[in-house]
Structure 1
Amino acid sequence: MASQHKNIVLLIADDLGQYIGSYGCASISTPNLDRLAASGTQFTNAFASTTSCSGSRSTIFTGLHTHENGQYGLNWFKTHFQTFQHIDSAPKLFSQAGYKTGIIGKVHVGPDEVYSWQVREESGTRDVAWVADRCEAFFEEARADERPFFLTVGYIDPHRDVSTRGGFGNHEEQYGSRVPLLDVKPEDVEVPRWLTDLPEMRQELVEYYKAINRTDTGVGLVYDALERQGLLDNTLVIFTSDNGPPFVNSKTTLYDAGIKLPLIVQQPSGKSGIVNPNMVSFIDILPTLLKWAELPLDLRSSDRDSRSPASPDRQGRSFLTILERADLLPDSDWQHHIFGSHTFHEMQNYWPTRILRTRHYKYHRNVAWRLDFPFAADLYASISFEGIRNTDSPVVIGRRILKDYIFRPPEELYDLENDADEVRNLAGEKEHENRLLEFRERVTEWQKLTNDLWLYRDGQSLTVNSRYAKDGLQIPERLDFDVNSPGTKGVVMTKHLTVDGYSAGIEK
């Protein structure tokens, strides 16, 4: 007999952008994801908050941006970025609510005390058949326990095989013998506008396509396991990715190629084939899961040490209420903007950026703009980038000049309706001055709301220096420190340095 609990299966691909048939990529083979989209809702404007594996997963699991939850970069042994101990997470909250919680496959967040799944089968395998077997065993155990469940499935695919320069794990010892490998040729792949069409690029995309198809196969196997167990009628199924494709101009950037991602949701007894154009953020996923489970959206952990700070208030919204809308809701009914926050990838990839994206415009605040934009190691070493950098001058990545990729200004403003590739920077143009100032102020207010350490003026953190405001410290409103004119006399001072406002959690 089918369980009547309200269950959740969250499927997370690794480094998959919108390379999915239902998202308009006709050259890729993703029949299972296409089937999932056809039976549920496909969001066309879903955005990650950040564009690095660990950070993005932490935003999904906590409903908080990385500068709020502390997962500033990769939870890798050499960098060891980890979420703050006092942060509430989905596995902790759902376990507290009586759910059987589990994760199978890639985890990539820490520490274990924050992400306290009851069942943790961490694995770096690309054998999606094995993953599906373990999922079905989890489903059977949950049924035997007569408990609702929340299972996360973390796929390694289609991430690069970081031990090679252009591979994506397409060797049988990595993916097993039960999963067929897609037959694809260089002329079959689709090179997006933000990449450069070169033989080296097509060579890597061939391998990428194979890994994407394997992800799709894995999703189908898990879906079939749910069906066999009689659980489809009461399980919310969500599929997404942590960040965009593992190529330059995408992953580790907050350009749309890095953060505009697939989000497919199948709700039992819901409408099918919905293409939803409304903007949603990954910080909205946890509130949506809580709403589905009929739990309070402001649910907090009950085991917090009274001496530690409280987990910050979540700013995300449940999109369950608009799940079946195929129309664009008015501003009064749904918020049509998202914020983003990226600080690290690997330890050496420090380049903090904050963004505001509306339906029409995109604003980037590049805090450390005087630094070269850093390459993730696997992207720098890739065969595709070697091909790009050895083309005739001026070297371009897609439509972006390589020089503009490496050297970026303190602010960027783009008209997305006329410049979807984010190439023509409008910051500094007189006719867009008011909009630039408006967006800068909106990002500043959001940074204050979220206690962002990287809210900078005069090259300093206002959040940290707020402790000295009571002693009369004033800080110039300019973004960066001016070494040619460092004085403060006659200079406009920022209104954002306050005595009481937003220094909670900063050591006094």
Structure 2
Amino acid sequence: MRTLSLIALSLIFSSQIYAAGRTPPAQPNIILFVTDDHGLDALGCYGNPVIKTPNMDQLAADGVRFTRAYCTSASCAASRSVILTGKFGHATGSYGHVHDYHHFSTFDTVKSLPVLLAEAGYETARIGKYHVAPESVYLFNTVLKEDPRSTVAMAEKCEDVIDGSKPFFLYFCPDDPHRGHPFTPDPWDAPNSFGNRPEGYPGVTTVKYDPAKVLVPPFLPDTKECRAELAEYYQSISRIDQGLGKLQELLNKAGKTDNTIIIYISDNGIAFPGAKTTVYEPGIKLPCIVKDPRTDLKGAVNNSMVSWVDLTPTILDFAGVDFQASEFHGRSFLPILGKKDSKDWNTIYATHTFHEITMYYPMRVVRDGDMKLIWNIAYGLKYPFASDLWAASTWQSVYRNKGEYFGHRKVQDYLYRAEFEFYDLAKDPEESDNLALKPEYAKQLQAMKDKMKAFQTDTNDPWQIIWGNKSKMQGTGVNL
């Protein structure tokens, strides 16, 4: 059963944001819409005036838009394991990619969100990108098949689940806007397709963008190659948006709009160097829009720091499923959904170990208010590239021309990093001025290190052993 404090918080939540005289149904339908490599940079409702995302924008107008939402690992498989378990990947064995020779896998003792919801009477269904293992841990009642780039067709394939008699949990995961195959372009300076194709997709109106008009984030170089790739990225996102619109059409048709919660997130940031696979803000700070039509929240903005490790307990709370708070590393943000600011939601943690198995570069992060500490545990190594990011014309245009800078950051600083990076994001939002070696910040730095150590201990992080030069103990096989 839930602790008394959780029950009290839920009662406070109900009294604060549900309309007078309305009792929320015990088991609403829930759609968790997870895109692949969609950064905070490319949604109209988050301030991009160029990109066309009318359905995402309407979702925000009808619900709550979080401004400080974070994944815990800017890598697809590792991030998705956290989304579906409420636990950090370093504690579940989900260190990196599951497919092919990477072969990382969650411990079989873990109980995931779809299993918990199925036990509570939900029809659980998934479609599109899965990228977690083993299936026995991440088990869904129904697996739907469709081209994961064809977002409208994906939505149409979900109609029977939406029309069903049981409350449903739909895990809807397009491949967009992940980079498309082949990753290596020919010629080298051709933009990646981001899944776009000349013939388009069924039911989708192709929306093209002028490279001259896209917005180039400060961490990327303002080059012809980068702009061309951003235009393709935007086009892919507009396809996602139409799939979201089709899902909402089907909910209306089934008469279930008023009892279906929609949560829109991405697994990690944009697939460009400086974002995906890094723990810089563009890699981990992401869109999060929550629409609960049973509430009076419309067009609300929430500045609380929430994390993908909070999603499983939050969704269980939405579903009215009893759980013990101690079972998860995250906590339900349902009680503060309608609050603009919450003082005790001002800290997040991130943890990255692998992307591909050849990319060993463990990093740990704590952000407390505006202060952010990154621990590059393997700082002596050259920073590794994901295969798709290395081949990208955006990176190659700088690499081949021996450019000094990649965006606002020196190439040398991107490839070879300090052991500790310490930033004041209020003064330095681009994470350019490392305070770690400045004597006047020594006390703050130590406090952040202590907070990081406590986090690693609390979440059973194997890499906590590196503190205090204890790395010689690695591989001893000692069973403590």
TM-score (norm 1): 0.85
Give the corresponding residue for 2:194.
168
1:423 aligns with 2:449: no
Aligned in 2, Cα 1:223/1:461: closer, same or farther, shift over 3 Å?
farther
Give the corresponding residue for 1:388.
398
Alpha-carbon distance in structure 2 between the residues aligned to 1:375 and 1:465:
26
- Please tell me whether the aligned partners of residues 344 and 352 of structure 1 are also in contact (alpha carbons under 8 angstroms): yes
User: Given the alignment, which residue of 368, 372, 375 partners 1:365?
Assistant: 375
User: What pairs up with 1:298-447 in 2 under 5 angstroms?
Assistant: 298=324, 313-326=327-340, 328-330=341-343, 334-391=344-401, 393=403, 395-447=404-456
- Please tell me whether the aligned partners of residues 152 and 246 of structure 2 are also in contact (alpha carbons under 8 angstroms): yes
Give the corresponding residue for 1:34.
57
More moved, 212-221 vs 114-123: 114-123
1:8 aligns with 2:8: no
**Deviation digits for residues 10-60 of structure 1 (CA, Å, limit 9, x no counterpart):** 000100011100001111110000000000000000000010001111111
Shift of residue 204, structure 1, vs aligned partner: 0.5
- Mind listing any 5+ residue stretches in structure 1 that lack a counterpart? 300-311, 469-506
**Deviation digits for residues 414-465 of structure 1 (CA, Å, limit 9, x no counterpart):** 0101111111111111000011111111101110111111111355459969
- Please tell me whether the aligned partners of residues 106 and 123 of structure 1 are also in contact (alpha carbons under 8 angstroms): no
Aligned in 2, Cα 1:225/1:461: closer, same or farther, shift over 3 Å?
farther
- Please tell me whether the aligned partners of residues 167 and 207 of structure 1 are also in contact (alpha carbons under 8 angstroms): yes
- Please tell me whether the aligned partners of residues 26 and 320 of structure 2 are also in contact (alpha carbons under 8 angstroms): no
Structure 2 residue matching 1:454: 3-state secondary structure: helix
Aligned in 2, Cα 1:235/1:383: closer, same or farther, shift over 3 Å?
same
Alpha-carbon distance in structure 1 between the residues aligned to 2:475 and 2:95:
21
User: Given the alignment, which residue of 156, 166, 179 partners 2:204?
Assistant: 179
Aligned in 2, Cα 1:392/1:343: closer, same or farther, shift over 3 Å?
closer
**Deviation digits for residues 135-160 of structure 1 (CA, Å, limit 9, x no counterpart):** 112112x22xxx21111001110000
1:210 aligns with 2:219: no
User: Given the alignment, which residue of 110, 113, 123 partners 1:87?
Assistant: 110
User: What pairs up with 1:72-221 in 2 under 5 angstroms?
Assistant: 72-140=95-163, 142-143=164-165, 147-164=166-183, 165=185, 166-172=192-198, 176-221=201-246
Give the corresponding residue for 1:452.
461
- Please tell me whether the aligned partners of residues 105 and 156 of structure 1 are also in contact (alpha carbons under 8 angstroms): yes
Give the corresponding residue for 1:49.
72
- Please tell me whether the aligned partners of residues 453 and 462 of structure 1 are also in contact (alpha carbons under 8 angstroms): no
**Structure 1 ranges of 4+ moved more than 6 A:** 462-468
Identical aligned residues as a percent: 38
User: Given the alignment, which residue of 320, 323, 343 partners 1:294?
Assistant: 320
Alpha-carbon distance in structure 2 between the residues aligned to 1:86 and 1:260:
30
Structure 2 residue matching 1:385: 3-state secondary structure: helix
- Please tell me whether the aligned partners of residues 41 and 264 of structure 1 are also in contact (alpha carbons under 8 angstroms): yes
- Please tell me whether the aligned partners of residues 148 and 176 of structure 2 are also in contact (alpha carbons under 8 angstroms): no
Alpha-carbon distance in structure 1 between the residues aligned to 2:468 and 2:69:
34
Alpha-carbon distance in structure 2 between the residues aligned to 1:76 and 1:338:
28
- Please tell me whether the aligned partners of residues 453 and 463 of structure 1 are also in contact (alpha carbons under 8 angstroms): no
Give the corresponding residue for 2:17.
none
- Please tell me whether the aligned partners of residues 64 and 289 of structure 2 are also in contact (alpha carbons under 8 angstroms): yes
Shift of residue 163, structure 1, vs aligned partner: 1.3
Structure 2 counterpart of 1:128, one-letter code: T
Shift of residue 466, structure 1, vs aligned partner: 11
**Deviation digits for residues 81-136 of structure 1 (CA, Å, limit 9, x no counterpart):** 11111111001111111111010111111110000101012555311121011111
**Deviation digits for residues 299-320 of structure 1 (CA, Å, limit 9, x no counterpart):** 8xxxxxxxxxxxx831211111
Give the corresponding residue for 1:486.
none
Which one has a bigger Cα radius of gyration?
Answer: 1
Shift of residue 402, structure 1, vs aligned partner: 0.7
Shift of residue 388, structure 1, vs aligned partner: 2.1
Shift of residue 4, structure 1, vs aligned partner: 7.8
Alpha-carbon distance in structure 2 between the residues aligned to 1:206 and 1:465:
47
Alpha-carbon distance in structure 1 between the residues aligned to 2:68 and 2:410:
26
Alpha-carbon distance in structure 2 between the residues aligned to 1:343 and 1:121:
31
Alpha-carbon distance in structure 2 between the residues aligned to 1:184 and 1:365:
38
- Please tell me whether the aligned partners of residues 159 and 246 of structure 1 are also in contact (alpha carbons under 8 angstroms): yes
Alpha-carbon distance in structure 1 between the residues aligned to 2:294 and 2:208:
36
Give the corresponding residue for 2:3.
none
Aligned in 2, Cα 1:45/1:318: closer, same or farther, shift over 3 Å?
same
Shift of residue 400, structure 1, vs aligned partner: 0.7
Structure 2 residue matching 1:250: 3-state secondary structure: coil
- Please tell me whether the aligned partners of residues 274 and 282 of structure 2 are also in contact (alpha carbons under 8 angstroms): yes
Give the corresponding residue for 2:305.
279
Alignment: residue pair count: 446
Aligned in 2, Cα 1:137/1:462: closer, same or farther, shift over 3 Å?
farther
Alpha-carbon distance in structure 1 between the residues aligned to 2:436 and 2:147:
43
Structure 1 residue matching 2:56: 3-state secondary structure: helix
- Please tell me whether the aligned partners of residues 363 and 414 of structure 1 are also in contact (alpha carbons under 8 angstroms): yes
Structure 2 counterpart of 1:111, one-letter code: P
Give the corresponding residue for 1:235.
260
- Please tell me whether the aligned partners of residues 106 and 122 of structure 1 are also in contact (alpha carbons under 8 angstroms): no
Structure 2 counterpart of 1:431, one-letter code: E
Alpha-carbon distance in structure 1 between the residues aligned to 2:323 and 2:287:
24
Structure 2 residue matching 1:448: 3-state secondary structure: helix
- Please tell me whether the aligned partners of residues 26 and 319 of structure 2 are also in contact (alpha carbons under 8 angstroms): no
- Please tell me whether the aligned partners of residues 453 and 464 of structure 1 are also in contact (alpha carbons under 8 angstroms): no
- Please tell me whether the aligned partners of residues 4 and 234 of structure 1 are also in contact (alpha carbons under 8 angstroms): no
Structure 2 residue matching 1:238: 3-state secondary structure: strand
TM-score (norm 2): 0.89
- Please tell me whether the aligned partners of residues 350 and 374 of structure 1 are also in contact (alpha carbons under 8 angstroms): yes
- Please tell me whether the aligned partners of residues 344 and 350 of structure 1 are also in contact (alpha carbons under 8 angstroms): yes
Aligned in 2, Cα 1:101/1:389: closer, same or farther, shift over 3 Å?
same
Aligned in 2, Cα 1:465/1:433: closer, same or farther, shift over 3 Å?
farther
Give the corresponding residue for 1:70.
93
